[in-house]
Amino acid sequence: MVPTLARIDRTLTCWMQRNATTLLRWSMGIIFVWFGALKLVPGMSPADGLIRASMSFLPMEYFIPFLALWEITIGIGFIIGYGMRVTILLLFLQMMGTLTPLVLTPHLVWTVFPLGLTLEGQYIIKNFVLMSAAVAVGASVRGSGEFDLWQRPEA
Give pTM, 2 decimals: 0.86
Q: Give residue limits of the domains in the chain.
A: 2-138
pLDDT at 145: 45
> Per residue in 11-57, pLDDT tens?
999 999 999 999 999 999 999 999 999 999 999 999 999 999 999 99
3-class state of residue 102 by DSSP: helix
3-class state of residue 74 by DSSP: helix
- Burial track 9-29 (b if 16+ CB lie within 10 A, e otherwise): eeeeeeeeeeeebeebbbebb
* Confidence tier at 148 by pLDDT (50, 70, 90): very low
Chain mean pLDDT for the chain? 90
Over residues 67-78, mean pLDDT: 98
> Per residue in 24-34, pLDDT tens?
999 999 999 99
Over residues 139-153, mean pLDDT: 57
> Per residue in 91-100, pLDDT tens?
999 999 999 9
pLDDT at 142: 79
3-state helix, strand, coil in the chain (%, to 5): 70, 5, 25
